[in-house]
Chains A and B, each alone.
Chain A
Amino acid sequence: MTHSIAAQINSLLASLILLTAFALLAQRKILGLVHLFAWQGFFLALSTAVIGFASGEHHLYISSLLTLGMKVILLPYILYTLIRKLKIHREIEAIVNIPATMLIGIALVVFSYHLTAPIRELSSLMTRSTLAVALATVMLGLLMMVTRRHAVTQILGFLAMENGLFFAATSATYGMPMVVELGVALDLLIAAFIFGIFFFHINTTFDSLDVDQMAKLKETD
């Protein structure tokens, strides 16, 4: 009984993660994006904890706390300060307009559902149905990186992708070994710092965080 309720709650959280992934694509304001990312992290942490509780894999609690600390508090805080410092409150620009991005997003969800169908047949875990959502989150993160101009949206897309990967790991195999998870968390943190430094440099060089400006670095034109 607890299993099935946990599976239902997990499904609900999975759908909320998917919703935040779409919301990240739809949101125009940069601060709004950071908030959405924090929410996504929160749902992810919650879902990890629920799976940990239901499956009895107690190391997942640690992962959950780690996610909460990193992705809900620390990384959004870093991004928030960066945005404040660099004074980039503008609306972001999209290469592909938002409704079209949404439609591509829906197609990607259907595609990941199709891809994970064989695994769903084989797996006996209660979380098997959320695997499609996890894969879709990864793809939506990548889509966000492809279709948005601003450097901050690039890192947010990257982080959202990582969320998806993490979620995939928990839903496919009840989480990666602890060492790997710790390593990934550390990597992320370092990545965020490096991104921060890059932002700073891009901004001072070009007076803008529009990544299209990078095209100027080409030697021949």
Chain B
Amino acid sequence: MSLHPFAIELLQLTLLIVLAPAFSGWVKVLKCRAQGRTAPGILQPYRDIRRLFAKNLLVAENASWIFRFTPYLTFGVTVMAAGIIPLISVDLPLSATADVIALVMLFGIVRFFTALAGMDIGTAFGGMGASREMTIASLAEPAMLMAVFTVSLASSSTSLTQMVTVMAHSDFFIRPSLAFALAAFILIALAETGRIPVDNPATHLELTMIHEAMILEYSGRHLALIEWAGMMKLLLFFALGIASFCPWGIAPSGDIVLLLLALGLLAAKLVLGSIIMVLIETGLAKMRIFRLPEYLGSAFLLATLGMIAFFILE
């Protein structure tokens, strides 16, 4: 028995939208455990979002429609991206709408408008966050593209479903290029999702925040949407990493048994991935902002070496 592609698409979207806060909560719990603190529980993000939705909206006097539109756009684009990355099956109708380059650019839209919203209210904080975010992004994006291009070259495709199919079903082959690309991807994913050592999602100190500085002025349902989209983005980067570098187990069709298997494997990969991330986050301190170019530069170097290794060694 197998599911219709549209049913899988719907299932995937629901999973990503509904479970993103839980995943985020799980990462927080892990982090608390690793650092010897008491955890708030996996369901805390749901409670936060519900509370924010119920609250009244405060909008700065000077804010224009860009400020009010950005949360919806952020959420919309992130949901769109969630429909594209193969999570449990490659049989996704929406997956053909955007390949991996377009996907990176979709995240670019979110960033562009969030930065604009930061500048819209006209405070120093917003401008600072926007400036830093765009600087980091402009260094991170090439490295990100180089990392995924290495996979694209290996599978001679930039379409995510094709990348998954080729990588999961070719003969086992040790590929040093992919190891490099994965290392680069991890470094970049930490930067793009605003984790330590690049940004600290848990702080409101002016010297340490980047992403938070841009959205400082948001409240109520606007903030809820942005936070929710942020949680989805974290999960999506995991999904992208899994699809590009560890696609084994993603179902080639809509067969129910394979889907269940894929779901189980996905959960295992996510748990493993989140443990690695928490270890990195716990082991490192946040970097000074002008050390970041070096950090992102090494990510770029790794990605480039991956690409060179693909041509030299494979």
Residues of A within 8 A of B (CB): 5, 8-9, 11-12, 14-16, 18-19, 22, 26, 98-99, 102, 106, 109-110, 113, 129-130, 132-133
CB distance from B147 to the nearest CB of A (A): 15
From 276 to 297 in chain B, residues with beta carbon under 8 angstroms from any chain A beta carbon are 293-294, 297
CB distance from A132 to the nearest CB of B (A): 5
Determine which of A9, A15, A113 lies in contact with B305 in the assembled complex, contact meaning CB atoms within 8 Å: A15
Given A18-B305, A129-B312, are A98 and B294 neighbors across the interface (CB < 8 Å)?
yes
Q: Are A12 and B174 in contact, CB atoms less than 8 angstroms apart? A: yes
CB distance from A21 to the nearest CB of B (A): 10
CB distance from B225 to the nearest CB of A (A): 38
Check B298 for interface membership: any CB of A closer than 8 A.
Answer: yes
Chain B interface, DSSP helix/strand/loop, else mixed: helix
Contacts A11-B313, A109-B308 supplied; 15 other A-B pairs, CB < 8 Å = A12-B174, A14-B313, A15-B179, A18-B305, A19-B180, A19-B305, A22-B301, A26-B301, A99-B293, A99-B294, A106-B301, A106-B305, A129-B314, A133-B312, A133-B313
CB distance from A93 to the nearest CB of B (A): 16
Q: Are B174 and A9 in contact, CB atoms less than 8 angstroms apart? A: yes
Residues of B contacting A132 with CB < 8 Å? 312
Q: Are A12 and B298 in contact, CB atoms less than 8 angstroms apart? A: no
A-B CB contacts (within 8 Å), total count: 55
Closest to A14 in B: B313
Chain A interface, DSSP helix/strand/loop, else mixed: helix
Given A8-B173, A106-B308, A109-B308, are A15 and B313 neighbors across the interface (CB < 8 Å)?
yes
CB distance from B96 to the nearest CB of A (A): 33
**How far is B176's CA from A8's CA once the two chains are assembled, in angstroms?**
9
CB distance from B15 to the nearest CB of A (A): 35
Q: Are B179 and A106 in contact, CB atoms less than 8 angstroms apart? A: no
Q: Are A14 and B176 in contact, CB atoms less than 8 angstroms apart? A: yes
Determine which of B180, B294, B301 lies in contact with A15 in the assembled complex, contact meaning CB atoms within 8 Å: B180
Check B309 for interface membership: any CB of A closer than 8 A.
Answer: yes
Determine which of B173, B176, B305, B312 lies in contact with A22 in the assembled complex, contact meaning CB atoms within 8 Å: B305
Residues of A contacting B297 with CB < 8 Å? 99, 102
Q: Are B311 and A113 in contact, CB atoms less than 8 angstroms apart? A: yes
Q: Are B176 and A15 in contact, CB atoms less than 8 angstroms apart? A: yes
- Closest 4 A/B residue pairs (Cβ): A15-B176, A8-B174, A11-B313, A12-B176
